[in-house]
Amino acid sequence: MYRTEGGAISLYRGLGPTLAGVAPYVGINFATYEAMRKFMTPEGKANPTALGKLCAGAVSGAVAQSVTYPFDVLRRRFQVNTMSGLGYQYKSIWDAISIIIRAEGIRGMYKGLLPNLLKVAPSIGSSFLSFEIARDLLLTLDPKLNI
């Protein structure tokens, strides 16, 4: 890539959309997880079951990914921008958005979402469940911890 696609800058193609999507993704993910965690907690209990935590994490990952997915589409399109024969020649993020929507409609910004959700939901669900199990274990070892 360095030699054939434009030097060091070619190694960072797609960084703009990636950085623009990270903060909203994380914020939506954690906010949705906390809301779902409360929703999944049985009445009279302090915490949801393990299955409830897993489901809360899966839903939060799916919601966050769905909202921020256009950033992933842009990142991928910019990464392949210079590959010959692919037809993507964007000058900026706004140029890419307008070309994609003009050529493919708003659905073009969500191409590949379903397979991505099939990966993200279980991954984020198991990550949150693992975090909760580890946190609970640490709290039983030292209840004074503030985690």
CATH of the domain at 91: 1.50.40.10
> What is the predicted pLDDT for the residue at 86?
60
Domain holding 113, by residue range, is 7-141
pLDDT block averages, 10 residues each, the chain of length 147: 67 76 94 95 90 96 97 87 63 89 95 95 96 91 78
Residue 77 burial (C-beta neighbours within 10 Å; 0-12, 13-18, 19+):
buried
In this structure, the number of other CB atoms found within 10 A of the CB of residue 19 comes to 11
Q: Is residue 146 part of a domain?
A: no
Has residue 1 been placed in a domain?
no
User: 88 and 81 in contact (C-beta within 8 Å)?
Assistant: yes
Q: Does residue 147 belong to any structural domain of this protein? A: no
pTM of the predicted structure, to 2 decimals: 0.81
Cα angle, residue 50 at apex, residues 47 and 52 outer, rounded to 5°: 70
Residue 58 domain flag: yes
Between CA 90 and CA 10 the distance in angstroms is: 14
Find tokens 């985690």 and name the residue: 147
Residue 116 lies in a domain: yes
In a domain, 2, yes or no: no
Total number of domains constituting the chain: 1
The set of residues, in sequence order, having a beta carbon less than 8 Å from that of 55 and lying 6+ positions away, is: 36, 40, 125
Compute the half-sphere exposure of residue 55: CA atoms within 13 Å on the CB side of its CA: 11
| Residue 68 domain flag | yes
Handedness of CA 67, 69, 103, 93 (dihedral sign): positive
Hey, what are 22's tokens? 């990270």
